[in-house]
Chain A
C-alpha cells in the first residue's frame, strides 16, 4: 500500500536530475543495484528536506554532493569496506585489464573510488577543478593530483587502445 504520492514539483525535480544522480552513483559504487538504491535514497532525502535552490547550478551541486556522500557512506559499511580494501589496496601495481573483454567503463571501475569520482565529474559532468574542489571539500591542488593520477593510470591501462589517441 502506498502511503502518499509525489507532488508535481517533486516529480519534475526527480525527472530532471534522475539520470545525473544515477550515473554519479553508478560511477562510484560500480553496480546497478547499489546505484539504484542510492538513487532512491537521494530523492527520498530531497523530498524529506525540500531544500530551496538559488539556481540550477545550486540544485545540480546539491544533488551531486548528496549522491557522493551517500555513495561514500555506502562504501564504508563494514562488509563493503573489507571487499573494497582488498580490491583497492594494490591498484597501483595492478596489471592492465584484459582489453578485449573490458569496456571503457569496466576499465575506469578499476580505479579507487575517489579517482573514479573526479574522472566522472570532470569528463561527464564537465566540472572544473575548482568546482570539483568545492563539491568534494578538497583543495584544488588535491583534485588536480587525483585527476592526474587517475589519468596516468587510465593511460597505462588504455595505452594500446584507441581511446588514448585523443586528449585524455
Chain B
C-alpha cells in the first residue's frame, strides 16, 4: 500500500515539458554559446571585474557564494586568495582538524585530514565518526563528487585520520575546496561478539509493549503466519517481546544484550540501547553460515521505557528460522558503540592542484 501510494505520488512529478530546450540552453551556456562580439569582450570583462570588486567589498559574500568566488578567482586571483585564504588547520571545542596531505591523480583526489586533541583535552583515542555532519564545498565550479571515510587511528601520534575522496569529471587543475565538520563521535567501535545459544530460553515469557518503530523487509503474510498479527495490528495492539525481568538504571549509558529466546519458529534477541541520544549506539545481529554468509533479522521492533526517570530505547530483532537450521549457524552481535559526541565548528580550506 505504501509503495502504491508513493508511486502514485511520484508519477505526477515530471520535468517542465520544455526541458529539451532548457538542456540545449544549458549546453550552450556551458560551452560559451553566447556569441558576443570580440570587440565587446574586454569591456564586458572590465565591467565584470568592477562589478565583482564592488560586490565582494564584503569578502564574506564571495566565501558564501562559490559562483562569485569563481568569477573573482578568474579575474583577480590575488583578491580571491585574500577573500578565501588557505586555512589548512583549525581548532574548535578542544579538537584540532588539519589537512595533512593532498594526493591528485588525474581525475581523482585524496585528501588526508587529521584530528587531534588540543592540550588539556582528551577526546581522540580511537576511531572517530563525523556522523554525516560534514560538508565539502567546491569553490572552483568543477563538477565533482566527494565523500569521506575514517582511515585509521595512529596511537603513537594520538591522531585520527579521515580520508576525503573526490572525483572530477575533468582532471583537477587548481581548485579550492572547504571541508567543514560540525560533529565528531569519539572512540567509535564496532565490536564483534559471538553469542552462545546453548543456554537459550525455549519457553520465554512475553510481555506486550507499545511500539515506537519497526524495521525489516518481511511481508504481512509471514507476520500473520508466525505472529498471528498483521503489521497494522502490531502497531495498534502492541507487540509481544521478551519479558526479561526488571530493568535498572545501569542500562542508561551502555549497550546491553538483554535476552535470547527461541519459540514458535522465531529467534528473538533483545538489547537495550540506553538513553536516547546522538551517540547512535546500536546492535546488529547476524546469523552466519559455514561459508561466512551473513543473514540479518527478518523483523525488528523498537520501543521505549521509562526507567529511573530516563527514557531508554529497546530493540528486539526477530529471525524466522527453523530450529534445525539455527543449530548449523553461528550468531554474532555487532555492537556499535561510542564514547560520546563533540560538537564544534571546524573548517579547513585547501587547494587541489
Q: List chain A positions with a Cβ less than 8 A from chain B.
A: 1-6, 11, 14, 18-19, 22-23, 26-27, 32, 35-36, 39-41, 43-45, 47-49, 69-70, 72-73, 76-79, 81, 85, 88-89, 92-93, 103-105, 108, 112, 114, 119-120, 123-124, 141, 144-145, 147-149, 151-156, 158-159, 162-168
Query: Would you give the shortest CB distance from A65 to chain B, in whole angstroms?
Result: 9
Residue contact A123 to B6, C-beta cutoff 8 Å: yes
* B64 on interface, CB distance cutoff 8 Å: yes
CB distance from B238 to the nearest CB of A (A): 13
Question: SS class of chain B's interface: helix, strand, loop or mixed?
Answer: mixed
Q: Which residue from B24, B28, B63, B212 sits with its C-beta under 8 Å from A156?
A: B212
Option from B2, B143, B220 in Cβ contact (under 8 Å) with A163: B2
- Give a binary string over B134-161; 1 marks a CB under 8 Å from any A CB, 0 the rest: 0111100001111000000000000000
Measured between beta carbons, the chain A residues less than 8 angstroms from B146 are 73, 76
Contact A166 B220 (CB under 8 A): yes
User: What is the CB-to-nearest-CB distance from A41 to chain B, in angstroms, rounded to a whole number?
Assistant: 7
Asked whether A45 and B34 contact (CB < 8 A) given A40-B26, A167-B220, the answer is: no
Q: Is the CB of B13 within 8 A of A22?
A: yes
Q: How far is the CA of A26 from the CA of B132 in the complex (A)?
A: 21
Also in contact, A78 and B213, with CB within 8 A (given A36-B16, A103-B9, A144-B296)? no
Chain B nearest CB: distance from A18 CB in Å? Answer: 6
The answer to whether A141 and B15 touch across the interface, beta carbons within 8 angstroms, is no
Q: What string of 1s and 0s marks CB contacts (under 8 Å) between B1-26 and chain A?
A: 11111110110011110011011111
A21 nearest in chain B by CB position: B15
Which of B2, B66, B169, B235 is within 8 Å of A166, CB to CB? B2
Residues of A near B30 (CB, < 8 A) are 44
10 examples of A-B residue contacts, CB within 8 angstroms:
A1-B28, A11-B20, A40-B19, A47-B23, A73-B143, A85-B133, A88-B132, A123-B7, A155-B213, A168-B2
Contact A18 B5 (CB under 8 A): no
Which residues from B are CB-within-8-Å of A40? 19, 22-23, 26
Query: Bound complex: CA of A152 vs CA of B213, how far in Å?
Result: 5
The reply to whether A69 and B5 contact each other, CB–CB distance below 8 Å, is no
Residue pair A76, B136 in contact (C-beta under 8 Å): yes
Q: How far apart are A148's CB and chain B's nearest CB, in angstroms?
A: 3
Complexed CA–CA distance, A2 and B20 (Å): 12
Note all chain B residues with C-beta closer than 8 A to A72.
Answer: 145
